[in-house]
Structure 1
Amino acid sequence: MSDYKIVIPARYASSRLPGKPLIELAGKTMIQHVYERAVETGVKDIVIATDNDRIRREAESFGAEVVMTSPEHENGTERIAEVAAIKGWDDDVVIVNLQGDEPLIPQQLIEMTAASLINYPQAGMSSVCTPLEDDQDAFDPNVVKVVLDKDQFAMYFSRASIPWDRDGYKDGSDKMTTKMPLYRHIGMYGYRVSFLRQYHSMESCALETTEALEQLRALWYGVKIHMSIIDEPPGHGIDTAEDVERVEALLQAASS
């Protein structure tokens, strides 16, 4: 399956790890590792979107197409929307947002994200979730939960434990409900270009700012988000110096 596009947003600024895309891991920069994960899908159109000349030069050194975007974007969705406009992609085009700090992302996850939009034309966005198995994660506000309908469209995302088991949790239980599955949201997104054209006019809503979850803006405006379910979370992303050491060890082990 290759009838979609991949855009890799990559910014230099990072509060915890400045210059993250240019960090070297097992002999290659992180942005090159991510680009190679994209190439493995067989997708023809792969674009690295950045506002930084150092990242542009690095990406061009290994043959990637680069689109320079505004430094004013607040998130990767805005950056990808600009790429779609610059490239003149049609409304029905499907784009997978491949984060520039995910060098271990599996090919299957990229393809599943695209397939949700290809197979469900009523969806404007797609994403991924995995069953929650740890009781602590179920009540951890840093672990985002999602409730699905019968067709695996997202009904709501929250930092709270949802769905809330009224009877099971009434005595302050710290064990997750067994009445139905709980799902952890994984921040992998796909977009239809028609949605991205609307996105710039969608003002932030109270749900989004209250939960601090960007995807709630789409639900607020009636955009359908189709979710794929995977058995377990993907490989580690990179946010801290400790993540760098862990991911480099995994990359070296995989290449040996």
Structure 2
Amino acid sequence: MSTLVLIPARMASTRLPGKPLADIAGMPMIVHVARRAAETGLGRVVVATDTDEIAQAVEAHGFEAVMTRADHETGSDRIFEALTTLDPQGKVEIIVNIQGDLPTLDPGIAAAALRPFGDRQVDIATLGVEIVREEEKTNPAVVKIVGSPLSPSRMRALYFTRSTAPWGEGPLYHHVGLYAYRRAALERFVALAPSALERREKLEQLRALEAGMRIDVEIVDAVPLGVDTPEDLERARTILSN
């Protein structure tokens, strides 16, 4: 399948303004993410942005950038505009959305997101990891997956929530916000209005589930560090400097 890897990036972060260009071990964070994305070997890698400075930084390090509108509400809307610009003839079959704040992403983990597409019924694929730290089980910032197991390493997502779920004995799974879409699924998704549960939980993926789309989750071994705060940025600098 023809695959395009898109990395949405914007400067308007409320908790860490300008974070795509934050220096980590001598390079902007967005360049680290582009390098990791290229190492997956999945296909063409492009940063989708609304900021000239981000595009210039990406291109200065040998990667590709595409400009998008500044008024997109979600990363999915941004990557869909990028897709239509980069591939107007519709040749790309799979679109991988890697967040621009994952500088420590393991390329092997990213590649695992495509495995569920062996089943033609899957519209969207994403990643999860078992929660091992007790404090994360009740942390609303750690999004949990409620799903039906399909194999030891895969589940069909039934719901995503910031609450502690499901109830009872057994593992809990942390959702890793990296998505792969079939082209038709992405086109359908961005045409849908935000759903009631999406607005309530503030989780975009619930829009797809409420519309009857199928999301399968590949279980991996580690969560990449998402850089959302100054403390996260310092952790990323420590990891990548070593």
TM over 0.5: yes
Report how far residue 158 of structure 1 moved. Answer: 1.3
Contact 1:81 1:193 in 2 (8 A): no
Provide, for residues 29-68 of structure 1, a one-character-per-residue CA deviation record: whole Å limited to 9, x for no partner.
1111111111212234111100111111111112222111
* 1:105 partner letter: L
TM-score normalised per structure 2: 0.91
TM-score normalised per structure 1: 0.86
Structure 2 partner of 1:245: 234
Structure 1 partner of 2:128: 129
Runs of 4+ residues over 4 Å off in structure 1: none
Once residues 89 and 180 of structure 2 are traced to their aligned partners in structure 1, the CA distance between those partners, rounded to angstroms, is: 15
User: Partner of 2:179: helix, strand, or coil?
Assistant: strand
1:47-62 aligned at under 5 Å gives the runs 47-62=46-61
Once residues 131 and 61 of structure 2 are traced to their aligned partners in structure 1, the CA distance between those partners, rounded to angstroms, is: 38
Structure 1 partner of 2:202: 212
Report how far residue 91 of structure 1 moved. Answer: 7.5
Report how far residue 3 of structure 1 moved. Answer: 4.6
Distance of aligned partners of 1:232 and 1:38 in 2 relative to their CA distance in 1, 3 Å threshold: closer
Distance of aligned partners of 1:223 and 1:89 in 2 relative to their CA distance in 1, 3 Å threshold: farther
Structure 1 partner of 2:8: 9
Structure 1 partner of 2:165: 162
Once residues 101 and 133 of structure 2 are traced to their aligned partners in structure 1, the CA distance between those partners, rounded to angstroms, is: 25
Structure 2 partner of 1:169: none
> Structure 1 residue aligned with 2:171, among 163, 171, 181?
181
User: Partner of 1:55: helix, strand, or coil?
Assistant: helix
Provide, for residues 121-158 of structure 1, a one-character-per-residue CA deviation record: whole Å limited to 9, x for no partner.
21111111111233332233222111221321101111
Structure 2: state its 5+ residue gaps. Answer: none
User: Partner of 1:200: helix, strand, or coil?
Assistant: helix
Rg larger in 1 or in 2?
1
User: Partner of 1:96: helix, strand, or coil?
Assistant: strand
Give the number of aligned pairs. 237
Structure 1 partner of 2:90: 90
Structure 2 partner of 1:147: 146
User: Partner of 2:203: helix, strand, or coil?
Assistant: coil
Once residues 112 and 28 of structure 2 are traced to their aligned partners in structure 1, the CA distance between those partners, rounded to angstroms, is: 26
Once residues 143 and 116 of structure 1 are traced to their aligned partners in structure 2, the CA distance between those partners, rounded to angstroms, is: 23
Once residues 137 and 226 of structure 1 are traced to their aligned partners in structure 2, the CA distance between those partners, rounded to angstroms, is: 22
* 2:226 partner letter: G
Distance of aligned partners of 1:187 and 1:89 in 2 relative to their CA distance in 1, 3 Å threshold: farther
Structure 1: state its 5+ residue gaps. Answer: 166-177
Distance of aligned partners of 1:28 and 1:195 in 2 relative to their CA distance in 1, 3 Å threshold: same
Provide, for residues 149-205 of structure 1, a one-character-per-residue CA deviation record: whole Å limited to 9, x for no partner.
13211011112222223xxxxxxxxxxxx2x32212121111111111112321111
Contact 1:51 1:69 in 2 (8 A): yes
Once residues 3 and 52 of structure 2 are traced to their aligned partners in structure 1, the CA distance between those partners, rounded to angstroms, is: 27
Contact 1:89 1:193 in 2 (8 A): no
Report how far residue 89 of structure 1 moved. Answer: 5.8
Give percent identity, aligned residues only. Answer: 40
Once residues 212 and 44 of structure 1 are traced to their aligned partners in structure 2, the CA distance between those partners, rounded to angstroms, is: 30
